Chain A
Amino acid sequence: MSLSGKVALAGVYEHPTRWAPDKTDWQIMAESARGALEDCGLEKGDVDGLLAAGLGMGGLGIIQLSEYLDLKPRFVDSTNIGGSSFVAHVNHAAAAIHAGLCEVALILYGSTAASSAMAIGTGGQAGREPSAAFVAPYGLTTVGGYAMAAQLHMRRYGTTSEQLARIAVQTREHASLNPAAKMRKPITIEDVLASRVISDPLHLLDCCIISDGGGALIVTSTQRARDLRKRPVRLLGCGEAVWHQETGSPDLLTIAARQSGERAFEMAGLTPREIDLAMVYDSFTITVLLTLENLGFCKPGEGGPFVEGDRLSRTGGLPLNLDGGGLSSNHPGMRGIFLVIEAVKQLRGESGPRQVADPALALVHGTGGLLTTQHSGATLVLGAD
């Protein structure tokens, strides 16, 4: 029996901080939990499911978080598949609620990535994973992985730096309408191209910012959500994929979104054509372009022309990343939770000056890990109740 429509986002909260040297990750998560509970009118004692992931959370982090918040959940999940984790957590919470394993799930993220000075994009990659010895000698950075995809896309399809820059310019325009966004001064395509090259062909302004921040989501059954403070946003479809592009040497431009998106649309019984707005993980401009292609909003190779003009603007054919995204609003190491928060606010009509006119359906897609090596994708189709 499909869970489509049976489970809903009842409460959301985005922590307003972008710079929090005086806070811990735990504190940001706790303050966000309080905000999301107030949003929907539930109390801490109602929470019986807890889901979280974080850069600072070790293997037992979910137990430590339970202790910090004095929660004794009967369902927990600390799946960490990178920045998309919180989108996947919505899937996992929905499955648990649908199966009766818990009733009210709280999803949390908090990070002081900026004030603790982490070089997330250009700090190099090393670890104890099986591939470590084959990566460490060569200076693979996060930006570098995405830049290799951009280079290939340009060569294969003639995509230009101007087209990628259009994504950054549009996202900044949306950020200028969001009082909480970190970067609000409008930019031009020329500004993006004139910013320094970090990893060719990606410029500084093709890359997400680094900030502090956090947020919270509350997921429960649609039935219960209807009795709460805010209009529920129903989960109509969801899908996940873990992807790798070295072993087996598949196409570098086919990404996890193809598989997770197909599953989410199939469950929802909908197609990209029917979507009113999209919240897509924008670690880099190329991430957005490849995600739109792989989700089926346009054909492979047509992403460049697709993002030109005003299509992605608040009043365009596919309004995208209306909070200002990771490119301009906030990116505390992982930002999947913010994709869901803004989609919910938009579907409730709570986004103020950046509100899309009467949206009924939103698409959320998170990308985690490192495109062109090993990454993940999680997709949601959300609908106003």
Chain B
Amino acid sequence: MPAEIRHPKPVPDWETRVFWEGIRRHEILLQRCADCSAVQHRPRAICATCLSSRVEIFEASGRGTVHTYTVTHQNQAPAFRGSVPYVLAYVDLEEGVRVLTNIIGCEPGEVQIGMDVVVDFEDLDEETAVPRFRRA
């Protein structure tokens, strides 16, 4: 198994704090617009589709499929230098949004486009967790 990824801590702002508080409780929170029903990732004060302020939080299932990925063999940023090779991926969640993430828990060579995955939370400390995905 490859080296564990040492995830740098996300730094939320007031708009995105709700997401990271959810992650700390091991929940992926998305937004749905009460006016146009659009679903969006990365919470924001408005619906990016229709600019309505009536955006409501809901919990995602945590299931999705790998849209695409790359096995990263070189990253000179200090936090990742010791973690290569690692899998960077886009995962399409069942709810219809795409999230940037890492695929963990398997050899990088086993990851495939279309593979079913499920969320896996890593607690970085008592305040912070990071969602990654593993094979379902």
Contacts and interface: CB of A to CB of B under 8 A. Distances in A.
A141 interface: yes
A139 B67 contact: no
B59 to A, nearest CB: 17
Contacts of A252: 67-68, 90
Nearest to A202: B70
Contacts of A149: 68
A138 B102 contact: yes
A353 B15 CA distance: 57
Nearest to A119: B76
Contacts of A122: 74-76
Contact of B41 (A140, A151, A247): A247
A107 B71 CA distance: 39
A249 B72 CA distance: 23
A139 B102 contact: yes
B77 A246 contact: no
Given A124-B76, A249-B92, A137 B68 contact: no
Contact of B42 (A130, A139, A144, A197): A130
Contacts, number: 130
A144 B16 CA distance: 24
A249 B98 contact: yes
B30 to A, nearest CB: 12
A133 to B, nearest CB: 4
A276 to B, nearest CB: 35
Interface in B1-54: 5, 7-13, 15-16, 20, 40-42, 44, 48-49
Given A133-B11, A249-B92, A197 B98 contact: no
A126 B7 CA distance: 13
A148 B69 contact: yes
B118 interface: no
A130 B44 contact: yes
B113 A124 contact: no
A155 B113 contact: yes
A372 interface: yes
Nearest to B131: A137
Contact of B72 (A131, A144, A248): A144
Instruction: Name the residue in B7, B40, B72 with the highest tally of chain A Cβ atoms < 10 Å from its Cβ.
Output: B72
A140 B48 CA distance: 24
B96 to A, nearest CB: 7
A155 to B, nearest CB: 5
Contact of B68 (A131, A151, A248): A151
A124 B86 CA distance: 13
Given A199-B70, A246-B41, A247-B40, A137 B75 contact: no
B68 A152 contact: yes
A202 B72 CA distance: 10
Given A124-B80, A152-B68, A246-B41, A133 B10 contact: yes
Given A139-B80, A247-B48, A199 B74 contact: yes
A136 interface: yes
A144 B77 contact: no
Interface in B89-113: 89-90, 92, 96-102, 108, 113
Interface string A365-378: 00000001100000
Contacts of A249: 92, 96-98
Contacts of A69: none
B100 A133 contact: no
Contacts of A197: 71, 73
Contact of A200 (B11, B73, B90): B73
Interface of A: 119, 122-124, 126, 130-141, 143-144, 147-152, 155, 196-202, 245-249, 252, 372-373
28 contacts: A123-B76, A124-B80, A133-B10, A133-B13, A134-B99, A134-B100, A136-B8, A137-B130, A138-B7, A138-B88, A138-B101, A139-B79, A140-B88, A141-B74, A141-B88, A148-B69, A148-B70, A150-B70, A151-B68, A152-B113, A196-B73, A199-B73, A200-B70, A247-B48, A248-B48, A248-B49, A249-B92, A372-B90
Question: Which 7 residue pairs are nearest across A and B when measured between Cβ atoms?
Answer: A124-B77, A147-B70, A133-B10, A200-B71, A152-B68, A137-B7, A139-B80
